[in-house]
């Protein structure tokens, strides 16, 4: 078939198997995912966005998904925007208090869950005019700290680049930037760039290509969404950049290992998800032509499961949703025939981003 491009050893992208795997996960998650119940919206994001990437979104009942997603939105009645709370989306029923208790302050909506919810709604072409988008945006200001970072939930939690990225992505998808102080967020991101060019999750920490959420990807994607990094930056003057682009490129390109895959940081094993986190940075910077595409394809094929989906490492047995989705996303960045193109900074397909 024309959408199958073989690797050097005859392997090819098993699209039909991947669709079957995702369709199965859409209907019922295996018991191994019970411990991830609190992240149910995130798991749904991996499945539905995965189906969109492989061109099988027609398998999704969009109206049913929209009703399910909207059922996780925090209450929008009797809201005091000065109460310090965030009115986004809950990650699961486990974190969702009854409506009357939410009004009393027991509101556990989460910034990362809100990103996943909005991404899914974008993917299924939901009409955002039906959202309480102003409430989401204005209450999100309560999560930004004085140093520019973001907490994920109003009752207190860690603050790092993951949630700065989520906030920027939420603002971008809502087309409303009132919930984020761009200048403060930019200053925080700049402080997270390490001596080696990569970004740590917090200032002074080790550079990460992935592992705990792709710190370097989160930094670069957030800067791009906020307008501080231009597309194809390598063709422009580097002296005016808010971060050290040459050092960032050097660190990023050094992450491609001898097996063709990408590592999240020095001395780590190559892993399927790093192919997206690190290649995504190169794509945003317009430097993806410097990576060894054939070697990366070969590595990804070694992680492709015979059951559909992708495993974390080569030649391991069962796939998982996290690495499967980022395997699909990596192949999209490699322009695999038959896959939809990604809006790299938002983590959804380009078609989804332009549909609303």
- 134-168 pLDDT, tens digit per residue, is 999 999 999 999 999 999 998 878 899 999 999 99
pLDDT of residue 84: 81
Whether the per-residue pLDDT at 242 is higher than 50: the answer is: yes
Report the CATH number of the 15-28+35-96+105-349 domain: 1.50.10.20
> Among 59-68, 95-104, 149-158, 281-290, which stretch is predicted with the lowest mean pLDDT?
95-104
Instruction: List the structure tokens of 101.
Output: 């208790």
What's the DSSP call for residue 257? -
pLDDT of residue 77: 61
Q: To which residue do tokens 């809100």 refer?
A: 114
Burial classification of residue 332, based on how many CB atoms lie within 10 Å of its CB (0-12 exposed, 13-18 middle, 19 or more buried): buried
List all residues 6 or more positions away from 100 whose beta carbon is below 8 Å from its beta carbon.
none
Q: Report the predicted TM-score, pTM, of the whole model to 2 decimal places.
A: 0.92
Band of residue 252 on the pLDDT scale cut at 50, 70, 90: very high
E strands present in the chain: 342-343, 348-349
Between CA 144 and CA 129 the distance in angstroms is 25
Q: What is the mean pLDDT of residues 314-335?
A: 95
| Contact status, residue 208 vs residue 265, Cβ threshold 8 Å | yes
In the chain, % of residues over pLDDT 90: 74
Whether the per-residue pLDDT at 237 is higher than 90: the answer is: no
pLDDT of residue 315: 82
Q: Which long-range contacts (CB under 8 A, 24 or more apart) does 59-64 make?
A: 59/19, 59/22, 59/23, 59/26, 60/26, 60/124, 62/124, 62/125, 62/126
Band of residue 206 on the pLDDT scale cut at 50, 70, 90: confident
């Amino acid at each position: 078939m024309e959408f199958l491009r073989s690797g050097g050893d005859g392997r090819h992208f098993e699209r039909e198997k991947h669709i079957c795997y995702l369709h199965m996960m859409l209907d019922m998650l295996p018991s191994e995912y019970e411990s991830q119940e609190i992240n149910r919206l995130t798991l749904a994001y991996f499945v539905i966005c995965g189906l969109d990437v492989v061109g099988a979104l027609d398998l999704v009942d969009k109206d049913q998904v929209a009703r399910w997603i909207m059922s996780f939105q925090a209450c929008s009645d009797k809201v005091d925007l000065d109460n310090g709370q965030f009115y986004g989306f809950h990650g699961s029923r486990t974190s969702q208090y009854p409506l009357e208790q939410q009004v009393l302050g027991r509101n556990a909506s989460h910034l990362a869950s809100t990103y996943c919810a909005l991404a899914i709604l974008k993917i299924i072409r939901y009409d955002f005019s039906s959202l309480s988008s102003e409430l989401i945006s204005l209450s999100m200001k309560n999560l930004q700290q004085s140093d520019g970072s973001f907490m994920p939930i109003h009752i207190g939690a860690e603050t790092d680049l993951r949630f700065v990225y989520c906030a920027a992505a939420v603002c971008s998808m809502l087309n409303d930037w009132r919930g984020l102080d761009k200048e403060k967020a930019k200053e925080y991101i700049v402080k997270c760039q390490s001596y080696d060019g990569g970004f740590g999750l917090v200032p002074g920490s080790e550079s990460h290509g992935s592992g705990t959420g792709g710190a370097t990807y989160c930094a670069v994607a957030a800067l791009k969404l906020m307008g501080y990094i231009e597309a194809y930056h390598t063709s422009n003057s580097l002296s005016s950049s808010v971060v050290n682009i040459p050092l960032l490129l050097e660190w990023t390109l050094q992450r491609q290992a001898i097996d063709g895959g990408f590592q999240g940081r020095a001395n780590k094993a190559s892993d399927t998800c790093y192919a997206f986190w690190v290649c995504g940075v190169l794509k945003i910077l317009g430097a993806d032509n410097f990576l060894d595409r054939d070697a990366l394809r070969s590595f990804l094929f070694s992680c492709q499961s015979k059951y559909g989906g992708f495993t974390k490492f080569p030649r391991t047995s069962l796939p998982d949703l996290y690495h499967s989705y980022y395997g699909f996303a990596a192949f999209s960045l490699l322009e695999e025939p038959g896959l939809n193109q990604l809006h790299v900074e938002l983590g959804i397909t380009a078609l989804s981003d332009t549909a609303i």
